[in-house]
């Protein structure tokens, strides 16, 4: 079997199994679906009056403003959940079985990533439906919408690589906080509630250098039908993919070396 065929064969099998597990297990599917909705409801519902504060100039209203954040947050946490799945599989010994059976071990990683993207698409579909039902004002055309979804999936891929790197090194669900907490911190150190220029001094400084800030801002731009900061957003996520991708691949080598 060629290396390429091996990769896709393994990836398909692992992706199927992982997606099947997700959709048939309420304990996995419910938190993944409900948490983004919860944040969307809490932020867009509870804080909508903020758009009347001086200097808040987002044209599509507060619901759409928060949707941009929640969409990216859901995508990022989808990547974290993928790490949880890998850790659980290795803890239970299933990961070792995969390592023994797979002709191409990077295909295992590929399978988890594909499954993560599928799951993210499911969550995003639900979020879009709820957002539109909540009266969200979307000005984007079809290519902009596709770009928005592409950006979210790209972020999911990057964070999935981050979580996979940790999961493959620790091979235990005990490493869950290590996967989750930095993602939580980095997301909440972006302009979550108001545009960056309305943040108070220190968070504004942190947000300026936070690589996820351009992603959140680009998602809001796309919803408003503009392309501001789009290249920077993709470049930032691309850098994260490169960095965390290396971490995930070396993590896989680490898992291989440990037997």
Part in contact with another protein (CB under 8 A); list of ranges 14-22, 99-107, 139-147, 196-204: 196-204
Please name the residues in contact with 183: beta carbons below 8 A apart, sequence gap of 6 or more: 76, 77, 79, 80, 159, 162, 163
Closest CB to another protein among 8 and 188?
A: 188
202 near another protein, judged by CB under 8 A: yes
Q: Rounded to the nearest 5 degrees, what angle is found at the Cα of 46, between the Cα atoms of 215 and 61?
A: 55
How many residues are there in the chain? Answer: 259
- Rounded to whole angstroms, how far apart are CA atoms 156 and 162? 10
Site for another protein in 206-235 (CB under 8 A): none
**Nearest-CA neighbor of 73 among 35, 119, 29?**
35
When the beta carbons of 41 and 225 are compared against another protein, the nearer one is 41
Report if residue 129 touches another protein, rule: CB under 8 A: no
**Shortest distance, position 48 Cβ to another protein, whole Å:** 4
Q: Determine if 55 is a binding residue for another protein (CB under 8 A).
A: yes
Sign of torsion over alpha carbons 188, 192, 197, 199: negative
Interface residue with another protein among 35, 58, 84, 128 (CB under 8 A) is: 35
Greatest Cα pair distance in the chain: 64
Instruction: Tell whether residue 48 is a contact of another protein (CB under 8 A).
Output: yes
Q: Applying CB under 8 A, does 200 fall inside the site for another protein?
A: yes
Backbone angles phi, psi at 53, to 5 degrees: -80, 150
Closer of 28 and 113 to another protein (Cβ): 28
Answer yes or no whether residue 31 interacts with another protein by CB under 8 A: yes
Residue with tokens 């220190």: 202
33 binds another protein (CB under 8 A): no
Which residues touch 234 (CB under 8 Å, ≥6 apart)?
A: 151, 154, 218
Q: Which is nearer to another protein, 189 or 232 (CB)?
A: 189
Q: Does 203 bind another protein (CB under 8 A)?
A: yes
Per CB under 8 A, does 24 bind another protein? no
Binding site for another protein (CB under 8 A): 31, 35, 38-39, 41-42, 45-50, 52-56, 185, 188-189, 191-194, 198-204
């Amino acid at each position: 079997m060629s290396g390429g065929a091996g990769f896709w064969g393994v990836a398909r099998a692992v992706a199927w199994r992982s997606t099947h597990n997700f959709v048939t297990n309420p304990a996995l599917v419910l938190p993944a679906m409900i948490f983004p909705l919860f944040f969307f409801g809490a932020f867009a519902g509870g804080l909508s009056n903020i758009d009347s504060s001086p200097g808040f100039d987002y044209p599509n209203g507060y619901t759409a403003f928060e949707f941009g954040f929640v969409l990216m947050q859901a995508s990022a946490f989808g990547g974290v959940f993928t790490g949880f799945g890998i850790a659980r599989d290795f803890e239970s010994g299933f990961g070792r079985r995969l390592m023994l059976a797979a002709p191409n071990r990077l295909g295992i990683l590929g399978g988890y990533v594909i499954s993560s993207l599928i799951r993210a698409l499911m969550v995003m579909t639900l979020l879009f439906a709820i957002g539109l039902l909540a009266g969200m004002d979307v000005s984007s055309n079809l290519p902009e919408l596709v770009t928005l979804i592409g950006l979210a999936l790209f972020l999911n891929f990057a964070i999935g690589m981050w979580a996979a790197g940790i999961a493959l090194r620790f091979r235990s669900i005990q490493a869950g906080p290590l996967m989750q907490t930095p993602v939580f911190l980095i997301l909440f150190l972006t302009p979550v509630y108001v545009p960056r220029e309305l943040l108070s001094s220190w968070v504004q400084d942190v947000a300026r250098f936070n690589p996820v800030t351009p992603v959140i801002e680009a998602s809001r731009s796309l919803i408003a039908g503009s392309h501001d900061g789009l290249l920077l957003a993709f470049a930032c996520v691309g850098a994260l993919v490169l960095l965390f991708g290396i971490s995930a691949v070396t993590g896989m080598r680490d898992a291989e070396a440990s037997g």
